[in-house]
Amino acid sequence: MINFNIPPVTGNELQYIQKAIGNRKICGDGEFTKKCSQWMEERFKVQKVLMTTSGTSALDLAVMLCDLKEGDEVILPSFTFSSTATAPLLSQASLVFVDLDPKTMNIDPERIREAITDKTKVVIIMHYGGISCDMDKIMDIVKEHNLILIEDAAQGVMASFKGKALGTFGDFGCYSFHETKNYSMGEGGALLINNPQYNERAEILREKGTDRTKFNRGQVDKYTWV
């Protein structure tokens, strides 16, 4: 039996925490943040991964990158966690909830198609319990209508659809590392960016409107970063 909600422990955690403290870098974007991002980029074959403070923060960033305006419509499943819905509400977008496939408890692709209007800008799907949505049908729909796709893959870390990692199909994928998820850091998340045109703006949004990430890479001087 696999017990629920017991964080996995490998035995090296205290050693790593001591090393982070010794590096005087415990606020993030230190040695272990970089290792984790790089590991996920290589493991999931995604061009950019940004670590976040939660899966909710990853969803908020993804929606901000969509440039939604008041009156734009976002299609999402009627059965999901609240963060899937609160993220687009920050942009004052209109939520369009659609029904599920009762076999999987995931969003029904045909209901997505029926809900599309000329105001639809974004589709958010959620892979419930690590079970993939029907990505073949969903990708056909979003490409046909030129829509942005966000994957709420909070429960889908290490899960896949036809050999491709969940979170790497749409424009953005969002992972959670909350204590109830497959892999836990207590609180934490990750934004997967599948289109490099979003990279720089995502870094700026993540750094509260600054280009601090470029400073950390040595690309700008500390007295000139914006």
**Residues recognised as catalytic:** 181
Asked whether 189 and 57 are in contact (CB, 8 A), the reply is yes
CA distances 155 to 11, 81, 82, 177, 179, Å, are 24, 11, 14, 9, 11
DSSP-derived 3-state class of residue 140: helix
Q: What is d(CA 6, CA 182) in angstroms, rounded to the nearest whole number?
A: 10
Asked whether 96 and 76 are in contact (CB, 8 A), the reply is yes
Scanning the structure block, which residue is given the tokens 């958010």? Answer: 124
Burial environment of residue 6 by CB neighbours within 10 A (0 to 12, 13 to 18, 19 or more): exposed
